[in-house]
Amino acid sequence: MYYNGEYIAHDWLLYIMTFAASFGICLVLTPWARKVSIKLGAIDKPKPRGMHKKPIPRMGGIAIVLGFMATMAIAAIFMDDMRTLQFAGFAVGAFIIVGLGMLDDIYDLNAKLKLAVQIIAALVVVFTGTRIEFIGWPFQEVLTTLSVPITIIWIVGIVNAVNFIDGVDGLAAGVSSIAALFLTILCIMTGSPLAVVFAATLAGSCLGFLPRNFSPADVIMGDTGATFLGYVLAVSSIIGVFKSYALLSVAIVGFAVALPILDTAFVVVRRMLSGKSPMAADRGHLHHKLIDAGLSTKQTVIILYVVSIIAGGVALIIALRDITALVIGLTLLFVTMSIIYVYRKRVGENGKSEKSKSESE
């Protein structure tokens, strides 16, 4: 295909194969991951801010990881890009993130310790050749000393953003699969085969996990899966999108993973303003707000899927640099978010009035 007048060779069969392989492997391994979670004691017990009324295995994310990594091993046979120091750094960072997630699912690690290890994983990625190095239009600047901290912040930020939204059955897996699919398209446009394979494989793994994770779930991904999803999305975006779109890539990738980013930013700011630690868990996330307002788990998840799809569409529009379509897309996103806000308020008010009425009777 041609993009911006340049011919880009894509192995479409490889992309389809990696998506299908990761989907199938994860689908088959998810029941096994549930059994492993139970055996290792990685169980999510009911808690005041939680959504589950009974204990549920919470290390199902190992199925996502194994589905992804097994597919990478297959793809490495056909791709020279997977026999490089850059890919080795990605793999080492992934194992650090996954190992940390597994320990956290079993032992509930300290938030500061987790952050420190995540930074180490990001440093491995940075010093093996994956960096945000260039800011283009309208500034045309090459990053030097800022390249490392900006890349680390991006990776650690996306890792935690995806982890933060993993509070409702099917939400993190569904939103990540949508983001990965849009990222796949964006990376195809920029001509980065390695990033395309990363994103397509991740989308397949997420969708393979979703049947057992959608409400009512019989297994959840835990930190093992959620942090891994964020890690792959972050690294894929650096390799595939930042290399071509420069400053626009912040907006492009930002919209592709808009829901976890915006939700995390809102929650962190709210916690800091109230004098709490930004890492302190609570019921302040958007999905909690919607459910507390009276929506069912399935309604909440589907609504947030729609928001993610619209945001991903806006990312594609930005990539195409069509101003008219961008205005329409942003307007549609704003209207959708406004409808959700008003609907949540109305449902919440109706629920309170009905409760007051029943108490008075």
Instruction: Give per-residue pLDDT as tens, 17-48.
Output: 999 999 999 999 999 999 999 999 999 887 65
Q: Please, which contacts does 292-300 make with residues 24 or more away whose CB atoms are closer than 8 Å?
A: 292/348, 293/344, 293/345, 293/347, 293/348, 293/351, 294/347, 294/348, 294/350, 294/351, 295/344, 295/347, 297/51, 297/168, 297/169, 297/215, 297/216, 298/214, 298/215, 300/168, 300/171
Q: What's the pLDDT at 42?
A: 93
* pLDDT reading at 277 higher than 70: no
Q: What's the pLDDT at 312?
A: 78
Q: What is the dihedral of CA 62, 67, 70, 73, to 10 degrees?
A: -120
Mean pLDDT over 219-229 rounds to: 94
DSSP helix/strand/coil, 130: coil
Mean pLDDT over 145-168 rounds to: 85
Q: 346: pLDDT confidence band, cut at 50, 70 and 90?
A: low
Cα–Cα distance measured from residue 106 to residue 87, given in angstroms and rounded to the nearest whole number: 29
Q: What's the pLDDT at 102?
A: 96
Q: 345: pLDDT confidence band, cut at 50, 70 and 90?
A: low
Mean pLDDT over 103-113 rounds to: 92
Q: 253: pLDDT confidence band, cut at 50, 70 and 90?
A: low
Cα dist. 336→85, 88, 263, 306, 331 in Å? 43, 41, 15, 9, 8
Mean pLDDT over 110-137 rounds to: 87
CB 287 within 8 A of CB 343: no
Q: What's the pLDDT at 137?
A: 44
Report for 79-83, 89-93, 330-334, 337-341: range of highest mean pLDDT:
89-93
Q: What's the pLDDT at 357?
A: 44
Tokens of 12: 């479409």
Tokens of 120: 């180490």
H or E stretch covering 98? helix 85-107
Q: What's the pLDDT at 162?
A: 86
* pLDDT reading at 288 higher than 60: no
pTM value? 0.82
Q: What's the pLDDT at 360?
A: 46
Mean pLDDT over 2-15 rounds to: 67
Of residues 49 and 290, which shows the higher confidence score? 290
Q: 278: pLDDT confidence band, cut at 50, 70 and 90?
A: low
* pLDDT reading at 301 higher than 50: yes
Of residues 206 and 278, which shows the higher confidence score? 206
Tokens of 183: 């990222």
Mean pLDDT over 130-146 rounds to: 62
Q: What's the pLDDT at 310?
A: 79
Q: 69: pLDDT confidence band, cut at 50, 70 and 90?
A: very high
Q: 270: pLDDT confidence band, cut at 50, 70 and 90?
A: low
Average predicted confidence (pLDDT) for the chain: 79
Q: 292: pLDDT confidence band, cut at 50, 70 and 90?
A: low
